[in-house]
């Protein structure tokens, strides 16, 4: 997998200096994630899951080690380059959706495209329409977040994450605030994005049922990968 890996971490380390205290949420982490693979990351609170997602998404930069995403060494990019890279190549899905309350579903999904000045209004409309269609919410385009269910809000957030057609999606407990049925719809959607649309997905979850929707499950503990429960790679419907 090494050469084709979409994400490649070697001895990846992240430390924060707080006064005299150094906190090291991630230490010497080696990880390969294949293109189109759906990976679930589990682990206790404080084990470094969000820290790892933020590195992979280019929100934070490593303190040491290597981090290549799509063949690019993210540690070598400036802040501005990272922001531009992220807008094009990585979608982020949050537990609490982070939609802008005063904007419609359509306008929320359109937001990332406003960064790309080469797109015309008509091109933006077309892409937003396609993204909302993919998540099954074409008929809710004019609704504001308060007029949507939690599951629908998360689907709008997923449409926003994919509208610029990034190859990589990271999701931090995307089903954490949803009931089982709405959560299952989100997991099914993520599976479809990985299997049919070839998105690489790294999803953090505390729920082993949600993790079972992924191709592979890894466990983090105190900033290190401790064990890997490899499920046979199944590209298809989510399990019962």
- Which residues bind to ligand ATP, rule: CB under 6 A? 16, 18, 23, 25, 43, 45-51
CB of 152 to ligand ATP, least distance (A): 24
DSSP string for the chain: -TTTEEEEEEEEEEEEEETTEEEEEEEEEEEEEETT-EEEEE--TTSSHHHHHHHHTTSS--SEEEEEETTEEGGGS-HHHHHHHHHHHEEEE-TT----TTS-HHHHHHGGGGG-TTS-HHHHHHHHHHHHHHTT-GGGTT--GGGS-HHHHHHHHHHHHHTT--SEEEEESTTTTS-HHHHHHHHHHHHHHHHTT--EEEEE-S-HHHHTTSSEEEEEETTEEEEEEEPP---SSPP-
Q: How far is the CB of 15 from Mg ion (least distance, A)?
A: 17
51: contact with Mg ion by CB under 5 A: no
Report in angstroms how near the CB of residue 57 gets to ligand ATP at its nearest. 13
Q: How far is the CB of 82 from ligand ATP (least distance, A)?
A: 16
Q: Give dist(CA 129, CA 83) in Å, integer.
A: 25
Q: Is the distance from CB of 159 to CB of 100 less than 8 angstroms?
A: no
Nearer to ligand ATP, 5 or 52 (CB): 52
Query: What minimum distance in Å lies between the beta carbon of 49 and Mg ion?
Result: 5
The residue range among 49-57, 68-76, 133-141, 185-193 that interacts with Mg ion, by the rule CB under 5 A, is 49-57
Of the candidate spans 46-54, 57-65, 67-75, 221-229, the one that interacts with Mg ion by CB under 5 A turns out to be 46-54
Residue owning tokens 């064990």: 227
Nearer to ligand ATP, 140 or 219 (CB): 219
Select from ligand ATP, Mg ion, none the partner in contact with residue 45, using the beta carbon and a kind-dependent cut-off of 5 to 8 Å: ligand ATP
Q: Which does 46 bind (CB under 5 to 8 A by kind): ligand ATP, Mg ion, none?
A: ligand ATP
Specify whether the CB–CB gap between 189 and 158 falls below 8 A: yes
Of 47, 50, 175, 194, the residue at the interface with Mg ion (CB under 5 A) is 50
The entry of ligand ATP, Mg ion, none that residue 16 binds, CB within 5 to 8 Å by partner kind? ligand ATP
Do the Cβ atoms of 8 and 65 come closer than 8 Å? no
In the block, which residue shows the tokens 């380390």?
13
Report the residue number, 7 or 41, with the smaller CB distance to Mg ion: 41
Part in contact with Mg ion (CB under 5 A); list of ranges 35-43, 44-52, 95-103, 215-223: 44-52
Name which of 9 and 164 has its Cβ closer to ligand ATP.
Answer: 9
| Residues making contact with Mg ion (CB under 5 A) | 50
């Amino acid at each position: 997998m090494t050469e084709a890996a979409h994400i490649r971490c070697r001895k990846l380390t992240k430390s924060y200096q707080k006064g005299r205290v150094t906190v090291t949420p991630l230490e010497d982490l080696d990880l390969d994630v294949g293109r189109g693979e759906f990976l679930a990351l589990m682990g206790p609170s404080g084990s470094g899951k969000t820290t790892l997602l933020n590195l992979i998404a280019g929100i934070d930069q490593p303190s040491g080690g290597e981090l290549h995403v799509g063949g690019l060494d993210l540690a070598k990019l400036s802040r501005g380059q990272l922001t531009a890279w992220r807008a094009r190549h990585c979608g982020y899905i949050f537990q609490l959706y982070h939609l802008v309350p005063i904007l419609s579903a359509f306008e929320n999904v359109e937001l990332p495209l406003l960064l790309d000045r080469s797109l015309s209004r008509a091109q933006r409309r077309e892409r937003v329409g396609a993204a909302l269609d993919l998540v099954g919410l074409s008929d809710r385009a004019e609704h504001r977040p308060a007029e949507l269910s939690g599951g629908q809000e998360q689907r709008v957030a997923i449409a926003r994450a994919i509208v610029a057609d990034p190859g990589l999606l990271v999701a931090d407990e995307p089903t954490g605030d949803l009931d089982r049925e709405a959560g299952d719809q989100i997991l099914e959607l993520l599976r479809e994005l990985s299997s049919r649309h070839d998105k690489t997905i790294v999803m953090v979850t505390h729920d082993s049922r949600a993790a079972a929707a992924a191709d592979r499950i890894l466990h983090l503990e105190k900033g290190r990968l401790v064990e890997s429960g490899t499920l046979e790679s199944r590209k298809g419907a989510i399990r019962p």
